[in-house]
Structure 1
Amino acid sequence: MLLIDSPSHNAYFNIASEEYLLHRFPTEDLFLLYVNAPSIIVGKFQNTLAEINLDYVQQNNIKVVRRMSGGGAVYHDLGNLNFSFHTLLGENDFGDFSFFTQPVLKMLNNLGVPAELQGRNDLLVDGKKFSGNAKLARHGKMIQHGTLLFNSEMEVLGEALKANPLKFIDKATKSNRARVTNLLGYLPEGTTTDDLKDLLTREILKIHPDATRYILTDEDLLGIKKLQQEKYETWDWNFGFSPNYNFKRAIKIPAGFIEIHLDVVHGIIDKVKIFGDFFASQPIELLEQELVGQKHDLNALRLKLSQLDLTQFFGKVTLEEIIGGFK
């Protein structure tokens, strides 16, 4: 087994590294640790916009990254340690999460933390979740990865993942907003994220005494950054990959009441219907036609709408007022 500690706090880099390492080491077992700066990691089959508080995320420069595995959305920051096991597919039961969570539980139990695995893939302490785990199988290998909420900013976590479920109708995987907690209050005073890294690594070494530390090479770093730029930083992957959904938003502005309905296919607006009590000098259907084929992305819509005379459709309005109807 190779033990890898990521040198980066960039979520785009770290999520890209999981895919890169699958190809780089097709047969070796790996144990990867990484810590991300503030970011939301959404499951592969989720509708990203339905999982996040977009305004809050953008205002606070929180990265949004889609991972390869399924499951729900999670919040990462510097108080959250992430671990990832890579093994050959078939060596362990794909549906069994207990095998790779056992070292985590043993480490915490040895520190006096009454942590346990409950349900299929969650680790809890006193009935509150501190770790969610997910899996994927690809190229003959299996990855199981999870989080450890150590000293995460719970207020930010709550706000960043506070999406409005009334805006979206779809069949995408929904996150289970369980009660969560940090481990800090359960651990010996003075424990740090680096301490947890060391303790967890020691637990892995008890199971795999022949494991060796691996430092990512310059070639590895270039490969990961290439994948990061071409896939994990892109709107197409993080937002456009979302399953098809219907979006509805009603807003009240000085020009009147406006209700916007969108059918969105892989992030692209397929159908538009706009209702309201506003006064228009031009048929609203003309604006609806202009929006078909655009990304359901505020920057793209802002650019498109800035090229149109919105007063012809809504009377006295501002661009930002209308943009509010697409959030």
Structure 2
Amino acid sequence: MMIIDSPSNDAYFNIALEEYLLYKYPTESIFLLYVNSSSIIVGKFQNTLAEINLDYVSENKIKVVRRMSGGGAVYHDLGNLNFSFHNLLGENDFMDFSQFTKPVLKVLNDLNVPAKLEGRNDLLVDGKKFSGNAKLSRNGKMIQHGTILFDSNMSILGDALKINPLKYNDKAIKSNRARVINLKDVLPKEMTLDDLKQTLIDEMLKTNASSFIYELSTEDIEDVQKLISEKYATWDWNFGFSPKYSFQNAIKIPAGFIELHLDVLRGGTIEKVKIFGDFFASKPIEELEVLFIGKNHNLNDIRAVLESVDVTEFFGKVTIDEILTVFK
């Protein structure tokens, strides 16, 4: 088994690294550990915009990255340790999460932490969740990966994933806002995240005779960076890959009340637009609505449309930034 401790705290890098390893080493068993700086990792089948507080995420420069596996959105920061097992598909039941959570549970139980697997894929202590796990199968392999909340900023976790559920109506999987706990609260006071990481590595080396430490080569890192630029840092993957959804929002600004309804196709393309309100317009609002059709539900694309017209002709005395808020 290859044991890899990622050298990067960049969420783009580490999520891309999982896919890179899947295809680079199609027969090797791998145990990967990584820590991301502030980021939200959304499940493959989720509507990203319905999972995040976009204003908060943008203001705080929190990266948003879609992973390959399903499940719900999670918040990562430097107080969150992530683990990933890569094994040949067929060796284990795909829906059984117990085998690859056992090493984590054993380490914690040995430290007198009463952690256990509950439900389908969560690790809990005293009824509080510290780890969620997800799976995928591809290229003849299965990946099971999970989070370990060690000393994560709970207030940011709540704010970054907070969203008004009335804005969106879609068939995507909604994240479960479970009660959570940081392991720092139940582990020995002197233990750090790095200590926990090393303890997990030692456990894998001890229990897997063929295990060895593998350091990423320059070629590995360059190939991962290429995958980042082509996929994991793009709007098309992180936002546009979302399923078809309907979006509704309304704002009250000095110019009046503005209500927006969008139908957005899978891939993020706006299919239908309807704008209502009590604003005064010198031009028919339908002339503006049609300009958004075929554009991405992306604030950069929306801004470009608004900058191509005189918005005061449609809404009265307004600014582009005011109109943009109704699209968030």
Pairs within 5 Å for 1:181-196: 181-196=181-196
Pairs within 5 Å for 1:7-22: 7-22=7-22
Instruction: Name the counterpart of 2:283.
Output: 282
Instruction: Name the counterpart of 2:73.
Output: 73
Write the distance in 1 (CA, Å) between the matches of 2:99 and 2:62: 32
Instruction: Name the counterpart of 2:172.
Output: 172
Write the distance in 1 (CA, Å) between the matches of 2:184 and 2:277: 51
Pairs within 5 Å for 1:19-168: 19-168=19-168
Write the distance in 2 (CA, Å) between the matches of 1:228 and 1:55: 24
Write the distance in 2 (CA, Å) between the matches of 1:84 and 1:228: 19
Partner amino acid, structure 2, of 1:207: T
Residues 90-133 of structure 1 show CA distances to partners (whole Å, capped at 9, x for unaligned) of: 00110000000011001001111111110000000111100000
Write the distance in 2 (CA, Å) between the matches of 1:69 and 1:199: 26
Partner amino acid, structure 1, of 2:13: F
Write the distance in 1 (CA, Å) between the matches of 2:271 and 2:31: 43
Partner amino acid, structure 2, of 1:161: L
Q: Identity over the aligned pairs, expressed in percent?
A: 70
Partner amino acid, structure 1, of 2:209: P
Write the distance in 1 (CA, Å) between the matches of 2:28 and 2:320: 54
Mapped pair 1:205 → 2:198: no
Pairs within 5 Å for 1:256-271: 256-265=256-265, 266-271=267-272
Write the distance in 2 (CA, Å) between the matches of 1:12 and 1:49: 18
Write the distance in 1 (CA, Å) between the matches of 2:214 and 2:178: 36
Helix, strand or coil for the counterpart of 1:262?
Answer: strand
Write the distance in 2 (CA, Å) between the matches of 1:163 and 1:209: 47
Aligned-pair CA distance for 1:207: 2.2
Q: When the two structures are superposed, what TM-score results if normalisation uses the length of structure 2?
A: 0.99
Instruction: Name the counterpart of 2:235.
Output: 235
Helix, strand or coil for the counterpart of 1:272?
Answer: strand
Give unpaired runs (5+ residues) of structure 1: none
Write the distance in 1 (CA, Å) between the matches of 2:128 and 2:229: 36
- Number of residue pairs matched? 327
Write the distance in 2 (CA, Å) between the matches of 1:179 and 1:311: 46
Aligned-pair CA distance for 1:17: 0.3
Partner amino acid, structure 2, of 1:308: V
Mapped pair 1:310 → 2:311: yes
Give unpaired runs (5+ residues) of structure 2: none
Write the distance in 2 (CA, Å) between the matches of 1:205 and 1:321: 56
* Structure 1 residue ranges (4+ consecutive) displaced by more than 2 angstroms after TM superposition: none
Moved more, 295-304 or 15-24: 295-304
Q: When the two structures are superposed, what TM-score results if normalisation uses the length of structure 1?
A: 0.99
Aligned-pair CA distance for 1:295: 1.2
Write the distance in 1 (CA, Å) between the matches of 2:251 and 2:120: 40
Aligned-pair CA distance for 1:205: 2.0
Partner amino acid, structure 2, of 1:286: E
